[in-house]
């Protein structure tokens, strides 16, 4: 069994953040993690002199490699270390084609540089960003049989699915001086010889890749000091200040996309803060409910009824004056074009929507059989041609109207300049009347959305979250909504008149894009299984269940002493079952000193942390093993009795456990 890491950076490139490479850190990493071979894979470059230095210094075998930006994704290309000069020359061509962070090379350019790709080991970013596109994988064909993934979860998923590539997981690390810890993301291969051909042959077979040396894919190394954990459920126990949380923090720092529920973080006794938290979590419901209303507010915000009234008054005044001067018109004002109105262009919006909808019906492959059952492609094509022709004719007519309007405007300006007669003000009656109707409809719409009603109901393991619409009852609520010190008193005076309220919001100082939020309040209530508002303790329980339910969006779940916030019945009936379900998908690590979790949950792995103080020297030890094992071991091979660990950490010792069972519980039995 060989341990490999084929994704290591030693030189910063234009695609990297800057770092100063430290060879001693790389040497310590290889020795501490007992790695058999590595590959140097810098972004779009290969430094031969540095490679030679690393090869001479490291006990492990070092392969020359490069991480290439290929058609929007990343590809590791690794060579045997026999002809490094040739590899360096080809890498230089890649560097010349990638001169900025946005550059990449094409498949054809890759072939032109490297020729026969089967001479190399190609490992694309597979389930890891930026992943190689499926179209590029198709071009690479049989040269691709292995892919780099980003997490333990994705590694195991690829192993199970027959159509997935053989997964590998690597550190993707940059080694600098004084690194706080080293990554534990490496892959074990069931291979005897460390050669590129042997490794390639091994990677063809999913049954020959592993996360651990002796425990296969059910366990993984969690920290650089050798702590082994299950890819299922793990429990960490130990005395106070023995290093439990320290170990959890170290695990968290070593992996990406981790859900970490820290001790006491879920306690929730403040009702208002809890309500704000629930509202924030479900803000998407609010956004979706008000999405169309938001567009309406934007449209109404552009309407100025007062300006329309002024325009009407100006028009009537100019019309009266023009009529009174009708007997004394000069030669210019008698011209037909003097008070001519403009042509109104036809609106093409609905026609464009019809064309777009027909185009979607033609091009979509999904539900094609259903569409063609009622209407054939030929009919759809004839329809879209006719619609486009109709659009073009109307568009052409609009262009002619625009040309005529410009000519009319030019002539009118010349006539008005020479005439002393009053000009009748131009006015768009359709626009004014239409905007008046819009405002009336807007008032009706606002009254409708302000009517109290439940717009969403969500069950979360015995709890129910209700989203209900209601009116704001005071200016202070609007101020709280804005999370600012702005005054809403004057604006709220117009709250019952939606249009006036909208106009008033313009004077408050908030962004116009936020206006829609102040018309209706979305109130979120969290109810227990009996339908009542949750209590302080229930709020904490709900928080835990919500946070854990969200865990499957992550690759690792860490929970630090949940019993510090919850009672045993809740832990046993709700939390344990949920944690065990999640542990079937991702690794879960729980720190506890409570037997309800520590023993009753039946973990796959027990971890015991111990602090030893010897003549002012403090040493932390971590032991681990299966819950049914007689002993737990640490990375150095030291052992400790599992029974003593469990009784001391979860039951206050064997004597206390026996005494409690005999005296406290026996006396209560029938």
Question: Does 79 have pLDDT greater than 80?
Answer: yes
Non-local (6+) Cβ contacts of 114 within 8 A are 77, 90, 120
Q: Which helix (H) or strand (E) holds 146?
A: strand 146-149
Helix then strand count (H, E) for the chain reads 25, 23
Angstrom CA distances, 51 to 93, 170, 171, stand at 18, 19, 18
Residue 504: its pLDDT value, please?
Answer: 93
Contact between 245 and 544 (Cβ < 8 Å): no
Q: What is the DSSP annotation of 506-519?
A: TTTT--GGGGGGGS
Q: If DSSP codes are grouped into helix, strand and coil, which group holds residue 90? A: helix
Please report the sign of the dihedral spanned by the C-alpha atoms of residue 276, residue 281, residue 283, residue 289.
negative
Residue 389: its pLDDT value, please?
Answer: 95
Q: Which residue has the tokens 């001790």?
A: 263
Structure token pair of residue 257: 């996309």
Burial of 201 (0-12, 13-18, 19+ CB in 10 A): middle
Q: If DSSP codes are grouped into helix, strand and coil, which group holds residue 620? A: strand
Q: What is the DSSP annotation of 233-246?
A: EEEEEESTTSSHHH
Q: Which of 224, 242, 185, 217 shows the shortest CA–CA distance to 29? A: 224
φ, ψ for residue 419, nearest 5 deg: -95, 150
The contacts found for 528-536 with CB under 8 angstroms, 24 or more apart, are: 528/462, 528/463, 529/462, 529/463, 531/464, 534/463, 536/268, 536/269, 536/271
Q: How far apart are CA 42 and CA 51, in angstroms?
A: 11
Strand 61-70 and strand 37-43: the pairing is parallel
Strand 61-70 and strand 73-78: the pairing is antiparallel
Non-local (6+) Cβ contacts of 485 within 8 A are 479
Structure token pair of residue 207: 């049954």
Strand 258-261 and strand 556-560: the pairing is parallel
Core vs surface per residue 523-551: b (16+ CB within 10 A) or e: ebebbbeeeeebeeebbbbbbbbbbbeeb
Q: Which of 488, 469, 470 shows the shortest CA–CA distance to 478? A: 488
Residue 667: its pLDDT value, please?
Answer: 43
Residue 572: its pLDDT value, please?
Answer: 65
Q: How far apart are CA 174 and CA 311, in angstroms?
A: 69
Q: How far apart are CA 554 and CA 100, in angstroms?
A: 32
Q: How far apart are the first and last CA of the chain?
A: 59
Non-local (6+) Cβ contacts of 180 within 8 A are 253
Residue 567: its pLDDT value, please?
Answer: 58
Higher pLDDT, 461 or 335: 335
Structure token pair of residue 392: 């073009």
- Kindly give the residue spans of alpha helices, DSSP state H, lying in 450-518: 475-482, 489-492, 498-505
Q: How far apart are CA 513 and CA 500, in angstroms?
A: 17
**Rounded to the nearest 5 degrees, what angle is found at the Cα of 206, between the Cα atoms of 205 and 209?**
105
- Which residues share a beta bridge with 465? 458, 526
Residue 619: its pLDDT value, please?
Answer: 82
Question: Does 109 have pLDDT greater than 60?
Answer: yes
**Rounded to the nearest 5 degrees, what angle is found at the Cα of 26, between the Cα atoms of 22 and 31?**
145
Contact between 323 and 434 (Cβ < 8 Å): no
Non-local (6+) Cβ contacts of 316 within 8 A are none
**HSE of 490, CA atoms in CB hemisphere, 13 A:** 9
- Which residues share a beta bridge with 468? 454, 523
Centre a 10 Å sphere on the Cβ of residue 75 and count the other Cβ atoms it contains. Answer: 24
Burial of 369 (0-12, 13-18, 19+ CB in 10 A): exposed
Q: What is the DSSP annotation of 67-88?
A: EEEETTEEEEEE--TT-HHHHH
Mean pLDDT for 9-17 is: 90
φ, ψ for residue 571, nearest 5 deg: -60, -45
Quickly state the pLDDT bin for 271 (edges 50, 70, 90): low
Query: Using one digit for the tens of pLDDT, what is the confidence trace for 543-570?
Result: 777 777 788 899 999 988 876 556 565 6
Q: If DSSP codes are grouped into helix, strand and coil, which group holds residue 116? A: coil
Angstrom CA distances, 32 to 27, 51, 183, 618, stand at 9, 21, 11, 21
Query: Using one digit for the tens of pLDDT, what is the confidence trace for 137-153?
Result: 999 999 999 999 999 99
Distance of CA 42 to the CA centre of its chain: 27
Question: Does 668 have pLDDT greater than 70?
Answer: no
Residue 573: its pLDDT value, please?
Answer: 67
**HSE of 266, CA atoms in CB hemisphere, 13 A:** 24
Q: How far apart are CA 565 and CA 654, in angstroms?
A: 26
φ, ψ for residue 218, nearest 5 deg: -95, -5
Q: How far apart are CA 39 and CA 65, in angstroms?
A: 6
Lowest-pLDDT choice from 118-132, 160-174, 305-319, 331-345: 331-345
Structure token pair of residue 373: 């059952």
Share of residues in the chain with pLDDT > 90 (%): 57
Query: Using one digit for the tens of pLDDT, what is the confidence trace for 410-446?
Result: 888 888 788 877 777 888 888 899 999 999 999 999 9
Mean pLDDT for 32-53 is: 96
Query: Using one digit for the tens of pLDDT, what is the confidence trace for 622-635?
Result: 999 998 889 999 98
Q: How far apart are CA 219 and CA 217, in angstroms?
A: 6
Query: Using one digit for the tens of pLDDT, what is the confidence trace for 651-663?
Result: 544 444 454 454 4
φ, ψ for residue 95, nearest 5 deg: -60, -40
Residues in the chain: 670
Residue 498: its pLDDT value, please?
Answer: 94
Lowest-pLDDT choice from 87-91, 314-318, 492-496: 314-318
Question: Does 320 have pLDDT greater than 80?
Answer: yes
Structure token pair of residue 409: 């405007």
Q: Which of 451, 464, 461 shows the shortest CA–CA distance to 282? A: 464
Query: Using one digit for the tens of pLDDT, what is the confidence trace for 451-484?
Result: 999 988 888 777 888 889 999 999 999 998 888 8
Residue 662: its pLDDT value, please?
Answer: 47
Quickly state the pLDDT bin for 571 (edges 50, 70, 90): low
Residue 613: its pLDDT value, please?
Answer: 81
Q: What is the pTM of this model?
A: 0.70
Quickly state the pLDDT bin for 533 (edges 50, 70, 90): confident
Question: Does 53 have pLDDT greater than 50?
Answer: yes
Residue 592: its pLDDT value, please?
Answer: 81
């Amino acid at each position: 069994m060989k341990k490999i890491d084929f994704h290591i950076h030693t030189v910063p490139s234009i695609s990297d953040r800057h770092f100063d490479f430290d060879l001693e850190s790389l040497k310590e990493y290889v020795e501490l993690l007992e790695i058999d071979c590595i590959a140097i894979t810098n972004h779009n470059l290969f430094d031969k002199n540095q490679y030679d230095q690393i090869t001479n210094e490291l006990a492990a075998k070092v392969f020359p490699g490069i991480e290439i930006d290929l058609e929007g994704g990343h590809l590791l290309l690794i060579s045997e270390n026999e002809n490094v000069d040739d590899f360096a020359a080809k890498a230089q061509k890649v560097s010349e084609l990638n001169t900025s962070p946005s550059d990449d090379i094409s498949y054809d350019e890759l072939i032109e540089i490297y020729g026969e790709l089967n001479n190399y080991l190609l490992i694309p970013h597979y389930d890891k960003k930026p992943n190689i596109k499926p179209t590029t994988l198709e071009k690479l064909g049989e040269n691709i049989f292995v892919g780099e993934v980003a997490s333990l979860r994705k590694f195991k998923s690829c192993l199970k699915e027959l159509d997935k590539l053989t997964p590998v997981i690597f550190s993707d690390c940059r080694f600098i001086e004084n690194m706080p810890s080293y990554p534990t993301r490496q892959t074990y291969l069931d291979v005897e010889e460390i050669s590129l051909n042997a490794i390639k042959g091994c990677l063809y077979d999913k049954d020959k890749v592993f996360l651990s040396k002796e425990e296969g894919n059910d366990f993984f190394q969690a920290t650089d000091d050798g702590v082994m954990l299950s890819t299922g459920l793990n429990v960490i126990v130990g005395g106070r200040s023995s290093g439990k949380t320290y170990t959890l923090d170290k695990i968290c720092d070593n992996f990406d996309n981790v859900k970490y529920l820290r001790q006491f973080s879920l306690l929730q006794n403040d009702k208002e803060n809890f309500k704000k938290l629930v509202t924030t979590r479900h803000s998407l419901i609010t956004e979706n409910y008000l999405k169309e209303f938001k567009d309406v507010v934007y449209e109404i915000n552009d309407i100025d009824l007062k300006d329309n009234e002024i325009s009407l008054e100006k028009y009537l005044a100019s019309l009266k004056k023009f009529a009174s001067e009708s007997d004394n018109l000069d030669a210019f004002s008698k011209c037909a074009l003097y008070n001519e109105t403009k042509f109104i262009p036809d609106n093409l919006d609905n026609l464009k929507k019809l064309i777009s909808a027909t185009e979607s019906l033609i091009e979509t492959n999904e539900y094609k059989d259903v569409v063609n059952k009622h209407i054939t492609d030929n009919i759809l094509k004839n329809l879209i041609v006719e619609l486009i022709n109709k659009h073009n004719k109307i568009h052409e007519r609009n262009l002619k109207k625009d040309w005529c309007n410009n000519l009319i405007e030019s002539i009118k300006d010349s006539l008005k300049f020479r005439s002393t007669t009053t000009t009748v003000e131009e006015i768009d009656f359709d626009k004014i009347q239409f905007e008046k109707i819009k405002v009336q409809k807007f008032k009706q719409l606002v009254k409708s959305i302000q009517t109290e009603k439940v717009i969403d109901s969500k069950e979360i393991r015995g709890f129910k979250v209700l989203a209900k619409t209601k009116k704001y009852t005071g200016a202070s609520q609007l101020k709280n909504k804005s999370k600012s010190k702005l005054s809403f008193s004057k604006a709220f005076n117009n709250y019952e008149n939606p249009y006036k309220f909208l106009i008033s919001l313009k004077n408050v100082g908030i962004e116009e894009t936020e206006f829609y939020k102040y018309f209706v309040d979305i109130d979120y209530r969290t109810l227990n299984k009996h339908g009542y508002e949750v209590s302080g303790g229930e709020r904490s329980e709900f928080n835990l269940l919500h946070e854990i339910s969200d865990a499957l969006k992550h690759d690792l779940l860490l929970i630090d002493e949940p019993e510090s916030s919850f009672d045993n019945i809740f832990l046993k009936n709700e939390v344990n079952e949920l944690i065990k379900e999640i542990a079937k998908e991702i690794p879960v690590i729980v720190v506890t000193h409570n037997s309800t979790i520590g023993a009753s949950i039946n973990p796959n792995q027990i971890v015991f942390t111990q602090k030893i103080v010897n003549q002012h020297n403090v040493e932390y030890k971590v032991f681990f093993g299966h819950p049914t094992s007689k002993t737990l071991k640490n990375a150095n091979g030291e052992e400790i009795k599992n029974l003593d660990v469990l009784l001391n950490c979860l039951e206050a010792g064997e004597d206390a456990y026996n005494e409690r069972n005999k005296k406290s519980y026996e006396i209560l039995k029938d």
